[in-house]
Amino acid sequence: MSGEKMALSDKVKEVVDTRILSQSSINRFLECRRMFKLTYIENKQGKAEAGLDYQFDYSWLGKVIHKVLEEFYLPQNFPSEKDLDADGTNKIELVLLSLLDKHWEFGQPELKLIDAKTMLKLFAQREAQRWKEQRNDPDINFVPQYREFELLDENIRLTAIIDVMWIDKNNNVNPVPRDYKTNKRPEITQSMKLQALITAMLINNKLNEMPTHFEFLFLRTNKSLLYEITTERINKAISIIENMWKEIENENFPKNLKSCYWCPVKNYCEGESRCWI
Ligand code: SF4
C-alpha cells in the first residue's frame, strides 16, 4: 500500500469516526461519489458553476432567500395582526423586501435580484392567504414557532435542518413540516424524497411525532407539493444511508461523469478537470 493511500485511508477513518451526514453531503454522495470524497474527505471547495450564468453561484441565492424567510417569522419582523387584517399581502411583502435588502450583497447581478423579489412577492400572497384562513377558522391555530433547527440522531449519524414547522399553543405539532425550494422545476426529486424521509425520522425521534407528509414549497412558481411519509419508505431510506456508510468505509468513490458540467470541485478531480467536455 502506498504512503498516499495510507494517508487517504486515515482521512476516511477520521470521516467515518467523527462525521455526521448532512443533507448536502448525502446529495453530493448520490450525485457523484468522487465529488463527495473531494468535498468531505479532502476538504476541497469550489462554487457550482454552469450554463449561461457561469459566474453566478446559485447556492448563494438560495441561502439569501432562506435567510429572509427565516427572519420573517421572528416576532420583531412578523407584521402585527392589525396590519395583516388591514393589508396582509402588502405588509408581508414590505417586510420580506426589506429583509432582502438587508442580506443582498452589493455587486450581485440585477437579474438575480429581480428573481429574488419575484419569489418573495409570490410568497407574500401565499402567506397572506394562510393568515386569512387562520383568522377565519379557530381550528387552524398552528403558528410557525420553529423556523430552522437541527436534529441529530447519533445512532445513524444524520442531521437535518427544517425550514418551517408549525406548532400550536398546546404544543401540538402539525404533521406537515415545510421545506423551501428555489429550484426552477417544481418536482420532487429522489434526493428530496430522501431528505423528507430523513427529516421525518429525526422529527419522530426528537418530538415523538411522525410527520404524515413533507411539504416542498417551490418559491419560483408558488407551487406546493406533498410527499407522503410511510414506514416502507422510511425503511428504504435507512438502508440507503447504511449502504452509504459501507461505501465510504470501503473507499468506493467512483466518478459519475453525468454531473461534471456543474461540479463545484471539478478542478480537483485528480488532474482531470476537463473530464466533462
Ligand atoms: S468532475 Fe465529474 S467525476 Fe469529477 S468529481 Fe466532479 S462530477 Fe465527479
pLDDT in tens, 32-65: 999 999 988 888 876 554 433 444 566 788 889 9
Measured from the CB, is residue 30 less than 6 Å from ligand 1? no
Q: Is residue 75 part of a domain?
A: yes
| Type of residue numbered 127 | E
Mean model confidence pLDDT for the chain: 82
User: What's the total number of domains in the chain?
Assistant: 1
What is the rounded CA–CA span in Å between residue 161 and residue 180? Answer: 11
Residue 108: pLDDT over 70: yes
Q: Is residue 13 part of a domain?
A: no
Q: Is residue 264 part of a domain?
A: no
Mean pLDDT of 237-265: 87
- CATH code at position 203: 3.90.320
CA of 181 from ligand 1 middle (Å) equals: 24
Mean pLDDT of 64-86: 89
Residue 127: pLDDT over 80: yes
What is the rounded CA–CA span in Å between residue 116 and residue 95? Answer: 14
Residue 184: pLDDT over 80: yes
Give the residue, 95 or 152, on which the prediction is more confident.
95
Q: What pLDDT band is residue 80 in, cutting at 50, 70 and 90?
A: confident
Mean pLDDT of 205-212: 86
Domain residues for the domain of 111 are 58-238
Q: Is residue 11 part of a domain?
A: no
CA of 265 from ligand 1 middle (Å) equals: 7
Q: Is residue 266 part of a domain?
A: no
Measured from the CB, is residue 269 less than 6 Å from ligand 1? yes
Q: Is residue 35 part of a domain?
A: no
Give the residue, 258 or 168, on which the prediction is more confident.
258
Mutate to test the pocket of ligand 1, among 257, 262, 273 (most ligand atoms within 8 A of CB): 257
Mean pLDDT of 136-161: 68
Measured from the CB, is residue 41 less than 6 Å from ligand 1? no
pTM over 0.85: no
CA of 75 from ligand 1 middle (Å) equals: 44
User: Roughly how many angstroms between the first and final C-alpha of the chain, as a whole number?
Assistant: 33
Q: Whose CA is nearest to atom 2 of ligand 1?
A: 260
Grid coordinates in use for 79? 407584521
User: What percent of the chain lies above the pLDDT cut of 90?
Assistant: 33
CA of 60 from ligand 1 middle (Å) equals: 21
Q: Is residue 86 part of a domain?
A: yes
Number of Cβ within a 10 Å radius of residue 96: 24
Q: Is residue 43 part of a domain?
A: no
What is the rounded CA–CA span in Å between residue 207 and residue 209? Answer: 5
